[in-house]
Amino acid sequence: MSDQVHWDDVYGARPDAALTWFEDRPDLSMSMIGPLLGPDSRVVDIGGGASRLVDAVLAAGVAQICVLDLSGAALAVSRARLGDRSDQVTWIVADVTRWTPPTRFDVWHDRAVFHFLTEPADRAAYVATLLAALAPAGHALIATFAEDGPERCSGLPVVRYTPDALAAEVGHLSDGALAPVSWARHTHVTPKGNRQNFQYSLLRRHGG
């Protein structure tokens, strides 16, 4: 089964509020990227799925928001939820490791996508896309399962990171272009009440 079929099946099988990674409000993400946002900011949510981050970014007054995901079914959930406001969003069905960004972004957001990349070549391709997408002095927030988080997500194996390990991996793959700014630990409680430890790392690109 291809990854795209897997994810379309996952989003087609149940309401988004029943998915383990569902969060009603992306409060930690917004507390970390919110201070960076202005009306002219360009934001991309990588593997945004059906996340409500796009709602929060629009509510913050940002006009240029793009949501990319492998699953068109996931994006359809967000489009339906947003109704008329979905016209303000650029929706892209693509694999982040094979995507050519059409423009530069000030903020790259990824919650629970990078950790699926278990092959070094895929992580290198992800960081190459990130570098092609991020403007000088732009920021990337990468949230993954923490070192004591689950070993699988949506039935797929993941790589777990400490903030130091995440910064080392992305710093190495970007040849030092991306350096850590801040990080946070977070315990996500799934709809069934299970606890999942995450790390959220904010990195900044040199320049600007």
Binding site for ligand SAM (CB under 6 A): 3, 7, 21, 47-49, 51, 69-71, 74, 95-97, 111-113, 116, 153-154
Q: CB 91 → ligand SAM: shortest distance, Å? A: 12
Residue with Cβ nearer ligand SAM (105 or 116): 116
Count of C-beta atoms within a 10 Å radius of residue 163 = 20
Residue with Cβ nearer ligand SAM (26 or 207): 26
The per-residue b/e assignment along 56-77, b for 16 or more CB within 10 angstroms, e otherwise, is bbbebebebbbbbbbbebbbbb
Q: CB 13 → ligand SAM: shortest distance, Å? A: 13
Residue with Cβ nearer ligand SAM (47 or 101): 47
Q: CB 208 → ligand SAM: shortest distance, Å? A: 26
Residue among 90, 99, 23 nearest 63 (CA): 90
Q: CB 106 → ligand SAM: shortest distance, Å? A: 19
Residue with Cβ nearer ligand SAM (48 or 101): 48
Longest CA span, the chain: 45
Long-range contacts of 182-185 (CB under 8 A, 24+ apart): 182/32, 184/28, 184/32, 185/146
Q: Do residues 198 and 145 lie in contact, with contact meaning Cβ atoms separated by under 8 Å?
A: yes
Strand partners, 111: 143
- Please tell me the distance from the alpha carbon of residue 198 to that of residue 83, in angstroms, as a whole number: 31
Residue with Cβ nearer ligand SAM (136 or 154): 154
Q: CB 99 → ligand SAM: shortest distance, Å? A: 8
